[in-house]
Amino acid sequence: MDGGNGHIAMMGDAGMGLEPARTKPTQPAVRAFGLDPEGIKRRVTEHEQRTTELRARFEADYDRYLLTEPEPEDGYQIYTANGPQTFADKVMSWLTGASLLIRYPVERKGRGQRAQEDAKEQFIIGALRQADEYLADLGLPPLRDQLAFYITLRGWYCGRVLLTKEGGRTLVEVMPWDPLHAFWGPGSRNGPLWACYRMKKTREEIEAEFGASAADLATSEKDNDVYDYYDQSYNAVCIAQDWLKPPAQHGLQGTPVYFGVVGPSPPIHGQNQVVTLEHYGESVFKANRSVYQKLNDTLTDMRTLVRRSVKQGLKLYSADGTKTLASDPYKEGAVLSLKKGADDVEPLGLLEMARETGAFLGQVSGDIQRGSVAHTTYGDLQFTLSGYAINSLRQSIDSVIEPRTHAMERAYGQIARLLCKQMATGAFAPLEVSGYTAAGNFFSKTFGPEVAAQGHDRPEITLLPRLPQDDQAKYAMAQIAREGATPLLPDRIILDSILGIQSVDAIQDMLKEQQAERASPIAALYSLILATMNQGREDLAQIYVADLMRLLQEQGIVGGVSPGGPGAPQGPGGAGGGFLPQVLPNAAQGVPPPMPMPQGPLPMRPPGAARPGASAQNERMRRMGLFPPR
């Protein structure tokens, strides 16, 4: 897979910018960097030797996922169960289909601070969406899909996070790395002390990314090892003994690389105090590696016997024991030439599996389900499940999915912090992003460095897999917390903590708008008028206009009656209630009624024209502010 090195920004006198033409670095630059291409290659080789067992496990698990079959022995059949692949695909589908919630807690914060953090949430959401667009341009799956793949099958995740400049615009590049080809140094508060990704590139790919002069350094047309190296100050790309990209300061405080493992197990030291990391960060096959092999061996034996029942062995009798058959006796219409009483052919007889085979397969099947997920998860239901059974099934799923969701949450948290840290340096132009909030509201905004720098730099990132009865349970809990004269929790905490709603203030504003629309009959009629007008039903809108005018007159808002009733103070010019004349209907202003329409068929109106007599009514409504201006 292409590592997608891209163009990392450099810190110079004019701030961060694109790297200049790729030339061989001067000796002072090499001395300041402290490593040459041979030193990078040596550091990678030493780390690869220390993690040989871990990388062997990576490849074995991937072969298990691909259902790779061994070479069959002569006369025997091979059967490989598809359990590893279907199980891994199920876990990956849970991770990719889960709801990703990025938010800052709103408890005990002022509205101004909540608005700032809402903007920061949108910045992160939009930046991650732009990262997916970058991967799509390279022909790669989205960030979430790749993270789900590596977390499920490798048990590790890693990659780089960069903000780059192109044509005065700021762009986001987040590239996941395959842990099999990633190498790293000790960790620190600012990430690993160093990290490197080794990838294979053809001469054509090197020329397209680094220029024709760099392509001349390639040792072959294909399969050139390219090292993309990062530490807490520099970035460099090399091949063999030459630089493809000279060492350059990236201007960040820390290494722009994220990495981590799956599961609760820490690195364990053996008696000789050597850590191989073989069991540090496990895949989903951890509990079933040997069990899958036992199942395949037994099913292979069964398939061999089933196949032999179709074409059994034969016992061939002859006088001297040397007779052979000239044709295959199992072919349709085969003819055998035999001497009666001397030559004969008999089936050898069928071999049978041991009587304990069924019990053994049942035990293996149970072990596989306990180490993965139950067969009912795939829809294999022989009967209706009770609520208790569903809850028990969910608990078995949680033990498998939760370590992977926590790992993906940590990965997104590291990516978000690296994006905010780079944007907050002020070395990049405002970032134009768009996306959807968790509530489904679309936004398209431009965020500057001040948005990334303000507030807390560690958002809460939650991955919510769509498992049975999740939504129903959450809404039922929220309703219980809100019921009664004295609710258990305020609405803001219910929306934020129980339902996990993003942008709580926006949701509450929408609820209040809905309440305002329904609380007043005048507001309800006005909303109906606007809705029918937007749908082109002016005839229907006029019915509600008449109802609205009647209601306004009854309440004394328009007409000659003052809201205070008889004897209430009069406004200027004697108009009741102090309302301006332009908001009063024609009758209240002394305007004579329109001439009656003649009897008989009405003339045809052009499409979209108002009915006769409606224009004056509409104009009055517009003056009152009930219709939008023209």
Question: Which run of H or E residues covers position 206?
Answer: helix 203-210
Residue of 217, 191, 189 whose CA lies nearest to 203: 217
Digit-coded pLDDT (tens) for 451-487: 887 766 678 888 877 655 456 677 788 888 888 888 8
Residue 573 burial (10 A CB sphere; 0-12, 13-18, 19+) = exposed
Residue of 461, 432, 369, 407 whose CA lies nearest to 172: 432
Q: Is 25 helix (H, G, I), strand (E, B) or coil?
A: coil
The rounded distance, in Å, linking the Cα atoms of 553 and 588 is 11
pLDDT of residue 405: 93
**Angle, alpha carbons 295-358-69 (nearest 5°):** 20
Counts for the chain of helices (H) and strands (E), in that order: 18, 18
pLDDT of residue 576: 42
Digit-coded pLDDT (tens) for 302-358: 888 888 777 777 777 776 666 677 666 666 656 666 666 667 666 666 777 888 888
Neighbour count for residue 486 (Cβ, 10 Å): 5
Torsions phi, psi for 381 (to 5 deg) = -110, 120
Neighbour count for residue 66 (Cβ, 10 Å): 11
The rounded distance, in Å, linking the Cα atoms of 136 and 431 is 19
The rounded distance, in Å, linking the Cα atoms of 77 and 72 is 6
List, in order, residues 6 or more apart from 514 with CB less than 8 Å away. Answer: none
Q: Which residues of the chain have pLDDT under 50?
A: 1-25, 387-388, 469, 560-580, 582-585, 587-588, 602
pLDDT of residue 588: 47
Q: Taking each helix axis from N to C terminus, what angle separates 289-310 and 83-97, rounded to the nearest 10 degrees?
A: 130
pLDDT of residue 349: 67
Q: Is 442 helix (H, G, I), strand (E, B) or coil?
A: strand
pLDDT of residue 409: 95
Can you read off the two tokens belonging to residue 207? 């020329």
pLDDT of residue 596: 55
User: Is the Cβ–Cβ distance between 174 and 161 less than 8 Å?
Assistant: yes
Amino acid at 45: T
